[in-house]
Amino acid sequence: MNSAMSRNELERILDQAVQDVTERTAGVRLRQSDRLSGDDLCTIQITFDRGFSTSLTLCADTGLLYRMACNSFHEKSVSSEDLEEFSKEYLNVLCGRITGAIFRATRISAHFAPPVFYRGRYEPEGQEVQFVLTYSDGYCGGAQLIHHVPCADGN
């Protein structure tokens, strides 16, 4: 993704996927925002292990993920284990949508490793931020989708 298409095109694909997948799978409408304001965060991270040397990290307010999971499961509450499983599956579905759109645009087939869930904010080692898309749900929740590329110095 880092050189196969323009940054603007990649941002457009990621943004469209985030908004569509979030609304369809979790019944939450996200819109681009200026900043992520919460302190209680979870991070879900996926590394592309074939086709691209990048990773995507979703850092979101725990309350937003909790609401998304409850909506998706049609439950009033979910356990912390359910929250983690939902979050990983959500990012898995999101990345599936993204890789499909990127394949249609570039004809490059990509594969990604299973998602990893972290409590708090997580930054992958050996990667640097290329860009960040920040979202708000219109209430108190927010999320950031961060596109990482290998560090320029190789570390």
pLDDT digits (tens, 9 = 90+) for 37-76: 678 999 999 999 888 889 999 999 999 999 999 999 999 9
Using the predicted structure, report yes or no on whether residue 23 has a pLDDT greater than 70.
yes
User: What contacts 137, CB < 8 A, 6 or more positions away?
Assistant: 28, 29, 30, 64, 67, 143
Please name which of 115, 122, 94, 116 lies closest in space to residue 14, comparing C-alpha atoms: 94
3 state DSSP class of 47:
strand
Estimate the share of the chain in helix, then strand, then coil, as percent rounded to the nearest 5.
40, 30, 35
Express as a percent the part of the chain with pLDDT over 90. Answer: 74
Please name which of 131, 138, 128, 134 lies closest in space to residue 59, comparing C-alpha atoms: 134
State the pLDDT at residue 21: 96
pTM confidence score: 0.91
Rounded Cα distance between 81 and 151, Å, is 33
Structure-model confidence comparison of residues 80 and 50, the more confident one: 80
State the pLDDT at residue 3: 59
Write the pLDDT tens digit of every residue in 139-155: 778 999 999 999 887 55
State the pLDDT at residue 155: 55
Rounded Cα distance between 51 and 122, Å, is 24
